[in-house]
Amino acid sequence: MQKKGILFSLSALLLVLSFILLQQAITRTSFAQTQAEKTITLFGNLNEKYASLASNIIELDTKSSYHQIQERPLPFTYSVDQNYIQLNYKTPLRQATLGNYFDLTNAFKIFAEDKNYSNFYSGINAKVDAAQNSSWGGMQTGLNFITEPSCMEISANEFGVSFGKGWCGQFDLNGTTRIDSNVSIYSPGEDQNTATCSWNESSNCPNDAFDPANPNPYFSLALLDQNCSKCALSTKTIKGHIDISKNNWIAVSCIGAACTSPQIDINVSQNYSITRNQNALPVQISTGITLKNKITAFYFNDMNIAVSENDYNTSMETKK
């Protein structure tokens, strides 16, 4: 009988210990679940905060009319359709135009980092690194934008706009199918009368149709001078496939003793650019580029955003 009592006591003790262990396991599971839910919520809040900031200043809309609002302070207007991007701008760009965008991005930095506003409800810190020109104590003079996945960088400075290799890949003009540009010379004081070329090691300006069988990119330039009473250009259309390993360029200028207009320089090799002396009269440019890949993103490259939460030492930032 005594043995049965001892056995019963031992069984009861094991039952109690099992119950205690079960309760501890349930508690640990509940705690882990709670922590996991907090972590998921935290990352959701971080992602929401980052997306809100990035969509306002870094990411440029490509799918709706919202881009018409975003492009107002930009040094160009743009449109994107599948693998095609078109930019309209003036060359040379005025410092005031570029300066306005530096003012915008640095004002955004102050706004986003203001804890009285930005962190009052969310408790999430924001740190913004914005490019600074001389007005903001920096040395940068131009603005840079990226299309993905081609990683074509669009750089705008006081001399003009260029299209070339970005930080994220090995882009060159072989990543394009064709480039079409119109240059409108409209100021009354212009007097261009000559277009000269160096094209695939030839000094002749080409006038060739697009050949789908030719693997090299195609370039087309139209010089529009109908509003320029002093202009006397005999060559107004230059077009042909390009070998980007050659030094290809076009110079639109005035030759003669009475000439006053600075030259317009077009370079079409590894990169593409139309530039002009920053003190020259502006010309209006429309450039359309057909890439070999569909454009999935278009964004401002001279800003980094990081959001963080102190209690969990967790952060999220722009990848560059």
Does residue 140 belong to any structural domain of this protein?
yes
User: For residue 267, what are the contacts with CB-CB under 8 A and spacing of at least 6?
Assistant: 248, 249, 273, 275
Give the residue from 294, 276, 303 showing the smallest Cα distance to 162. 276
Does residue 7 belong to any structural domain of this protein?
no
Q: 221-242, pLDDT tens digit by residue?
A: 999 999 999 999 999 999 999 9
Hey, which bits of 160-207 come out as E strands?
A: 160-165, 176-184, 194-198
The DSSP 8-state label assigned to residue 71 in this structure reads T
Q: What is the pLDDT of residue 126?
A: 80
Does residue 314 belong to any structural domain of this protein?
no
Q: 248-302, pLDDT tens digit by residue?
A: 999 999 999 888 999 999 999 989 999 998 889 999 999 999 999 999 999 999 9
Helix (H, G, I), strand (E, B) or coil at 61: coil
The DSSP 8-state label assigned to residue 212 in this structure reads T
Does residue 249 belong to any structural domain of this protein?
yes
Q: What is the pLDDT of residue 32?
A: 44
pLDDT band at 31 (very low <50, low <70, confident <90, very high): very low
* Average pLDDT over the chain, rounded to an integer: 83
Here the tokens at position 45 are 């809040």
Q: 60-89, pLDDT tens digit by residue?
A: 988 877 778 888 889 999 999 999 999 999
Give the residue from 85, 129, 214, 95 showing the smallest Cα distance to 206. 214
Return the bridge partners of 287, or none: 87, 181
Beta strands 218-224 and 176-184, pairing class: parallel
Q: What is the pLDDT of residue 70?
A: 83
Q: What's the domain count of the chain?
A: 1
Q: What is the pLDDT of residue 35?
A: 44
Residue 245 has pLDDT above 70, yes or no: yes
Does residue 1 belong to any structural domain of this protein?
no
pLDDT, mean of residues 191-212: 94
Q: What is the pLDDT of residue 268?
A: 96
Q: List the domain range (segments joined by +) for residue 95.
A: 57-305
Residue 44 has pLDDT above 70, yes or no: no
Does residue 170 belong to any structural domain of this protein?
yes
Give percent helix, percent strand, percent coil of the chain, each to the nearest 5.
Answer: 30, 35, 40
Q: 158-197, pLDDT tens digit by residue?
A: 999 999 999 988 899 999 999 999 999 999 889 999 999 9
Question: How far is the C-alpha of 222 from the C-alpha of 205, rounded, in Å?
Answer: 12
Does residue 95 belong to any structural domain of this protein?
yes
The structure tokens 């980094």 sit at 304
Q: What is the pLDDT of residue 194?
A: 95
Question: How far is the C-alpha of 277 from the C-alpha of 161, rounded, in Å?
Answer: 13
Contacts 24+ apart (CB under 8 A), 306-311: 306/126, 306/127, 306/128, 307/46, 307/49, 307/50, 307/53, 307/124, 307/125, 307/126, 307/127, 308/46, 308/124, 308/125, 308/127, 309/42, 309/45, 309/46, 309/123, 309/124, 309/125, 310/123, 310/125
Question: How far is the C-alpha of 103 from the C-alpha of 73, rounded, in Å?
Answer: 10
The structure tokens 């492009």 sit at 71
Q: What is the pLDDT of residue 294?
A: 95
Does residue 160 belong to any structural domain of this protein?
yes
